Amino acid sequence: MAAGGLREVTRQAARSRIAAVAEELFADKGFDATTVEEIVTAVGISQRSFFRYFTSKEDLLLGDYDQLEAEFVRRLDSRPVGESDWDALRRMFDVISDEYADIERRSRRARTLQMIERSPVLLAAYLARFERIQNLLCVSLEKRSLTSYSGSTDLLRRATVGSAFACLHAALSRSAASPSDDFVTQLDTVMEQVRPAYCTLGTPT
């Protein structure tokens, strides 16, 4: 393995260790009540070392959303051009469906979401990340779409992306609260029920 690759493996291992310890503290004390000082003490590192791996306490739980952002864009850009925006967004969410097929990853995502919903600070950071992701996806839709909208094109596209993510969040929340419920079924059901009229009745011109 090249030196650069080894450094990245070492870095990821260190990040995982810090995150695992932090999540235990968050579970015991709550996210807002846990300090960075308590985390570094439990891990046995300095605050300076902590900030080499994470930009903030919020980044501990939300940092992987940066990777998710890139994967969302990649998957959306790979969808067939003639496919409706709504169906393309649903297939883009398969990255979450794939993750939820792994029980351990599903449990971790559920715990993270529960922490997010209990912490105003964390919820604000979470919503800010998803706002950025949605803005990027609107750009991707503009590039791939053959749809000719009348009136407020950007407004309709933004509303479509926002509605899709509202469905995703509803399914994630339901799955976190009721682990026995099938996430994919919940997501498919809610997205079909919320499907925009233009995807059902035809493309507006």
CATH topology assigned to domain 63-201: Tetracycline Repressor; domain 2 (1.10.357)
Task: Examine the pLDDT at 202 and tell me if it is beyond 50.
Answer: no
Q: Rounded to an integer, what is the distance from CA 41 to the centroid of its chain?
A: 29
Per residue in 69-107, pLDDT (tens digit) is 999 999 999 998 888 899 999 999 999 999 888 888 888
The CATH label, of 1.20.1250.20, 3.40.50.970, 3.40.50.2020, 1.10.10.60, for the domain at 3-55 is 1.10.10.60
Per residue in 113-135, pLDDT (tens digit) is 888 888 998 999 989 999 999 99
Return the half-sphere exposure (C-beta side, CA atoms, 13 A cut-off) of residue 30. 7
- C-alpha–C-alpha distance, residues 69 and 15, integer Å: 19
Three-state secondary-structure class, residue 171? helix
Q: Are 140 and 157 in contact (CB under 8 A)?
A: no
Mean pLDDT within 22-45: 93
Question: Confidence band (pLDDT; 50, 70, 90) for 53?
Answer: very high
Q: Are 105 and 195 in contact (CB under 8 A)?
A: no
Listed in order, the ranges of the chain carrying CATH 1.10.357.10 are 63-201
Give the CA diameter of the chain: 61
* Backbone phi and psi for residue 26, each to the nearest 5 degrees, phi listed first: -60, -40
Q: Rounded to an integer, what is the distance from CA 126 to the centroid of its chain?
A: 8
pLDDT for the residue 177: 80
Listed in order, the ranges of the chain carrying CATH 1.10.10.60 are 3-55
Residue 24 gets the label, from left (phi > 0), alpha (psi -120 to 50) or beta, of: alpha
Q: Rounded to an integer, what is the distance from CA 48 to the centroid of its chain?
A: 28
